[in-house]
Amino acid sequence: MSKKLTSRAEDYSKWYNELVVKADLAENSAVRGCMVIKPYGFAIWEKMQAELDKMFKETGHQNAYFPLFVPKSLFEAEEKNAEGFAKECAVVTHYRLQNDPDKPGKLRVDPEARLEEELVVRPTSEAIIWNTYRNWIQSYRDLPILINQWANVVRWEMRTRLFLRTAEFLWQEGHTAHATKDEAIEETKLMNGVYAKFVENFMAIPVIQGVKTESERFAGAEDTYCIEALMQDGKALQAGTSHFLGQNFARAFDVKYATKEGKQDYVWATSWGVSTRLMGALIMTHSDDNGLVLPPNLAPYQVVIVPIYKNDEQFDAISKVAEEIISDLNDRGISVKFDKRDTLRPGAKFAQHELQGVPLRIAIGPKDLDNETVELARRDTLSKQTVILDRIAIVVEDLLEEIQENLFNKALDFRNQHITNVETFDEFKHVLETKGGFLSAHWDGTNETEEKIKELTKATIRCIPIDSKEEEGVCVYSGKPSKRRVLFAKAY
Amino acid sequence: MSKKLTSRAEDYSKWYNELVVKADLAENSAVRGCMVIKPYGFAIWEKMQAELDKMFKETGHQNAYFPLFVPKSLFEAEEKNAEGFAKECAVVTHYRLQNDPDKPGKLRVDPEARLEEELVVRPTSEAIIWNTYRNWIQSYRDLPILINQWANVVRWEMRTRLFLRTAEFLWQEGHTAHATKDEAIEETKLMNGVYAKFVENFMAIPVIQGVKTESERFAGAEDTYCIEALMQDGKALQAGTSHFLGQNFARAFDVKYATKEGKQDYVWATSWGVSTRLMGALIMTHSDDNGLVLPPNLAPYQVVIVPIYKNDEQFDAISKVAEEIISDLNDRGISVKFDKRDTLRPGAKFAQHELQGVPLRIAIGPKDLDNETVELARRDTLSKQTVILDRIAIVVEDLLEEIQENLFNKALDFRNQHITNVETFDEFKHVLETKGGFLSAHWDGTNETEEKIKELTKATIRCIPIDSKEEEGVCVYSGKPSKRRVLFAKAY
């Protein structure tokens, strides 16, 4: 198989698409805009799921499951949310197919089996969930409700890309209900912080936590917190969002509770989610022209052992050593694959594991047996070393930690080098075109200016960083006074 | 809250429905036939998922994810499968809503946004998966493919019941591809065996492994293996199925491979699945008139501690003891909930935990503190004992094992007492009406007789047990010769 990728310098977008397919992560399906997540890609997603799930439970959340479908009348109840998603939703109108009288062997929708009310395939679940919460909440004693759901959602995007933007994607969506505004805002921030911690510590991707401007908010939210990452091509990627929904959904679905003082009040809401889009962020942050580079935390197997042999006798002797290494590594909680396939030569195996981003590769040949050594190769730096057999487990253990850190630090350096303070609109455009990355600039706070800048440069306000400091300045576009810098970037 | 359930003797069906809702497992939603799985119910399902997932991986399977939608042209490609599911499928016809010009604030499907080809919401994924496998399989080297998917599916059932039959349900579906017929049949049997082991050892539900008759087979299968369980009302419940699909889907989707000898041949297929229906089996096998009874393996928390106190000082002293117990139990891998709520009296807590099937309850009051004892209550037998504090961890550990075994043995006794050999059709009808359960009877092997018996008695052939012995006899209905008994029952 021709595994050679287009280089990033040549065509970043093509490099990404090729990598996703050739590294066996995902592929397009027969359904427009929907992807097949292949076993290797899914194993990475499962690791993300497991860690996030643990973090959600540690912060007091429970999982539940709500219906895939949203009846139209519920979908339209919260006006802004409905408006935001109406243009891109899949709608079920019939519940039966029948033989097509005009085309033998073919089926058609049965015109008699039209639903009385259309069902929207959930693009997000606020509507169906808040309609349910109404019956769960009577008094302050029933609050807070802290629920998460792992689910598939559908948004009928016209231009799709594997992982980054697909008509169907997998995600988790948290939906919480609170007695007070303050508590709901705390929850919104808490979960944005959980996302930041997960993406930085587990995925080795540095992020900036911030708040969205009004025009970039989730449809139906009062405030949207986000984590923004920077890809190697200088474009930003929104990696997770957490929304303070105010009382909007409680009003739309009439969810009131009796306060401790015996009054009736609407409930306060949040929602928050990350999706298989994170796979795109993972790929575009760490990978190189040879293929995927995986942080050890996310690797389906962290180490691969490739035997190099000419005959069965050599293979048996190497296998014995390999099994000992595997046992040692497993005892340390390190996952290992012994690639015994006899249908591929070692060189082809090396290329495949490099393409698939296995963090460490151990090669064992006859000479290694004689010397009681192995050859150890790092995927992140592509460097090799000879290691004494006795020390291999401890060396691997240390290196995996080092690689995890190294990937984060490398990405952090790149990100930090790509945050540029700009003071004029000429400078803004120049930096955007030549260097890319985040532009830290003053903005007058109006939708009009934001819209105009987007129109002229394709850059959007990614966020107002939560740690940004007050600073007197003038808007980079309008020259009007501004008290705070915001981050602009072109984005996925 | 009135938690008292209708008794099983009074109305079994009502008892079931009430239990599901009152024990906080699931409830009906605003979408016809679709359920909301509540956190407590979902926590049980998560435990099933985790164990099954482990078993699938141990038998060499990997997870992946395929699209929710099946384009109509793929759906209709395997004729029998299409015929089997066409009558109950949800169909997406449009990809956009718009403001309804006649009704301000309301939406309608946008007539301009009609899909060129309708999309069926997957009722099962053979079609979309085999269409994908075509590109994955060229040669015998690409086989076997051993993939599982955790997903939601939709079958537009007209009469639904929580967990047992819902329009949308959660399940796993394995889809494997093999070079030979024998290997595919082995896989079919292997996975049916995995299901049997899981349901018996983990869920404490005894099952009979068998093969379905032609009329009860999965649409598109050559053979369907199943596990059949018996509920307390004498009705059977199909708890899992594993299908040998022959080359049907390979032919329908043109999936060929080059054999070792260089010939082209169609690939052999299996599929297998269990669903949230298992929750129904769990409830109806073990529970009683007081509510849910959970095998310790499946309990979201295996032990609950209820403090009994009159003042803060007592509460603090009890909490100290409780925390020590929790720490000891956690060290043994036992999950514990300390029910500190000050909004409920101990009696109300007892009732709730009984209703929710927590296997063991520890109550600690001031007298217990003086005596260095606790009160320990078993959910399965409703018996209580006083235990010396020093011994509580070891007693709990032993009891949890005993409860798991006891539940299985109790269900096994019941099941075995409800397998009746019948020789005449009068006897058949009599036993079916008075005692229920499985009727082991001779059958002439024809669809006609099977259909007639179903029409007259509502009993169906649940399976031909895999360990059934050859035995000369005559069909219980037609009097024609038969070589083997099969199991009849009324079924869910």
Collect all residues of chain A within an 8 Å Cβ-Cβ radius of residue B255: none
Site of tokens 């089997």: B84
pLDDT along chain B (492 residues), means of 10: 82 97 98 97 98 98 98 96 95 97 94 97 98 97 97 95 97 98 98 98 98 94 97 98 98 97 97 98 98 98 97 96 98 98 95 98 96 98 97 98 98 98 98 97 97 98 95 96 97 96
| Interface touch A37/B64, C-beta < 8 Å | yes
φ/ψ (deg, to 5) at B223: -155, 140
The phi-psi region of residue A391 (left if phi > 0; otherwise alpha if psi is between -120 and 50; otherwise beta) is alpha
Tokens for B189, please give them.
Answer: 């049997």
pLDDT of residue A1: 45
Peptide bond into B144 cis (omega under 30): yes
Extract long-range pairs of A3-9: CB within 8 Å, 24+ residues apart: A3/A291, A3/A351, A3/A352, A3/A355, A5/A289, A5/A290, A5/A291, A5/A355, A7/A289, A8/A232, A8/A233, A8/A288, A8/A289
pLDDT of residue B3: 59
Q: Are A117 and A93 in contact (CB under 8 A)?
A: no
| Interface touch B39/A107, C-beta < 8 Å | no
Residue range A79-116, pLDDT digits in tens: 999 999 999 999 999 999 999 999 998 999 999 999 99
Q: What is the dihedral angle through the alpha carbons of B298, B302, B308, B313, rounded to the nearest 10 degrees? A: -130
B-facing residues of A in 432-491 (CB < 8 A) are none
pLDDT of residue A280: 98
Collect all residues of chain A within an 8 Å Cβ-Cβ radius of residue B154: 68
Tokens for A198, please give them.
Answer: 């997960």
What is the rounded distance in angstroms from the CA atom of residue B146 to the CA atom of residue B60? 7
Nearest alpha carbon to residue B169 among B93, B244, B17, B273: B273
Asked if A343 is an interface residue toward chain B (Cβ–Cβ < 8 A), one would say yes
**Best residue in A49, A92, A114 for a mutation probing chain B (most B CBs within 10 Å):** A92
| Interface touch A36/B64, C-beta < 8 Å | yes
A-facing residues of B in 90-149 (CB < 8 A) are 90-98, 105-107, 109, 118-121, 128, 131-132, 135, 141, 147
Look at domain A12-286 and name its CATH class.
alpha beta
What is the rounded distance in angstroms from the CA atom of residue A99 to the CA atom of residue A295? 52
Peptide bond into A144 cis (omega under 30): yes
B-facing residues of A in 42-61 (CB < 8 A) are 42-43, 46
Residues 6+ apart with CB under 8 A from A464: A210, A211, A212, A213, A484, A486, A487
| Interface touch A168/B35, C-beta < 8 Å | no
| Interface touch A64/B38, C-beta < 8 Å | yes
Q: Are A406 and A359 in contact (CB under 8 A)?
A: no
The sign of the torsion formed by the CA atoms of A202, A208, A211, A213 equals negative
Q: Are A434 and A418 in contact (CB under 8 A)?
A: no
User: Is CATH 3.40.190.10 the classification given to domain B301-399?
Assistant: no
**Best residue in B36, B159, B342, B352 for a mutation probing chain A (most A CBs within 10 Å):** B36
- Residue of A64, A96, A170 lying closest to B156 (CB–CB): A96
Residue range A391-423, pLDDT digits in tens: 999 999 999 999 999 999 999 999 999 999 999
Residue range A310-349, pLDDT digits in tens: 999 999 999 999 999 999 999 999 999 999 999 899 999 9
Nearest chain A CA: its distance from B146 CA (Å): 10
For chain B, the distance separating the N- and C-terminal CA atoms, rounded to the nearest angstrom, is 31
Residues 6+ apart with CB under 8 A from B151: A152, B65, B66, B68, B122, B125, B170, B171, B172, B173
- Residue of B30, B42, B92 lying closest to A121 (CB–CB): B92
Residues 6+ apart with CB under 8 A from B182: none
Residue range A46-66, pLDDT digits in tens: 999 999 999 999 999 999 999
Q: Are B439 and B458 in contact (CB under 8 A)?
A: no
Residues 6+ apart with CB under 8 A from A80: A219, A220, A248
Report the residue of chain B nearest A75, measured CA to CA. B107
Angle at B303 between CA B300 and CA B308, to 5 degrees: 125
What is the rounded distance in angstroms from the CA atom of residue B285 to the CA atom of residue B280? 8
Residue range A441-479, pLDDT digits in tens: 999 999 999 999 999 999 999 999 999 999 999 999 999
CA distances from A481 to A425, A440, A453, B336, B485 (A): 15, 15, 17, 58, 89
Residue range A430-440, pLDDT digits in tens: 999 999 999 99
Number of A–B residue contacts, CB under 8 Å: 186
Indicate where chain B has its CATH 3.40.50.800 domain(s). Answer: 301-399
Site of tokens 């590594």: A329
Angle at A204 between CA A198 and CA A205, to 5 degrees: 85
CATH of A419-489, one of 3.30.830.10, 3.40.50.10490, 3.30.43.10, 3.30.110.30: 3.30.110.30
Q: Are A472 and A213 in contact (CB under 8 A)?
A: no
Nearest chain B CA: its distance from A9 CA (Å): 30
Site of tokens 């997000």: A124
Asked if B70 is an interface residue toward chain A (Cβ–Cβ < 8 A), one would say yes
Indicate where chain A has its CATH 3.30.110.30 domain(s). Answer: 419-489
Q: Is ipTM over 0.90?
A: yes
Nearest chain A CA: its distance from B263 CA (Å): 19
Site of tokens 């007539």: B111
Secondary structure string (H, E, C) spanning chain B = CCCCCCCCCCCHHHHHHHHHHHCCCEEECCCCCCEEECHHHHHHHHHHHHHHHHHHHHCCCEECECCCEEEHHHHCCCHHHHHHHHCCCCEEEECCEEECCCCCCCEEECCCCEEEEEEEECCCCHHHHHHHHHHHCCEHHHCCEEEEEEEEEECCCCCCECCCECCEEEEEEEEEEECCHHHHHHHHHHHHHHHHHHHHHHCCCCCEEEECCHHHCCCCCCEEEEEEEECCCCCEEEEEEEEEEECHHHHHCCCEEECCCCCEEECEEEEEEEECHHHHHHHHHHCECCECCCCHHHCCCCEEEEECCCCHHHHHHHHHHHHHHHHHHHHCCCCEEECCCCCCCHHHHHHHHHHCCCCEEEEECHHHHHHCEEEEEECCCCCEEEEEHHHHHHHHHHHHHHHHHHHHHHHHHHHHHCEEECCCHHHHHHHHHHCCCEEEEECCCCHHHHHHHHHHHCCEEEEEECCCCEEEEECCCCCCEEEEEEEEECEC
- Residue of B62, B94, B343 lying closest to A91 (CB–CB): B94
Nearest alpha carbon to residue B270 among B363, B144, B396: B144
Tokens for A201, please give them.
Answer: 């510590």
Asked if B87 is an interface residue toward chain A (Cβ–Cβ < 8 A), one would say yes
A-facing residues of B in 379-398 (CB < 8 A) are none
Q: What is the mean pLDDT of chain A?
A: 97
Tokens for B469, please give them.
Answer: 């012995």
pLDDT of residue A434: 96
Asked if A75 is an interface residue toward chain B (Cβ–Cβ < 8 A), one would say yes
| Interface touch A71/B30, C-beta < 8 Å | yes
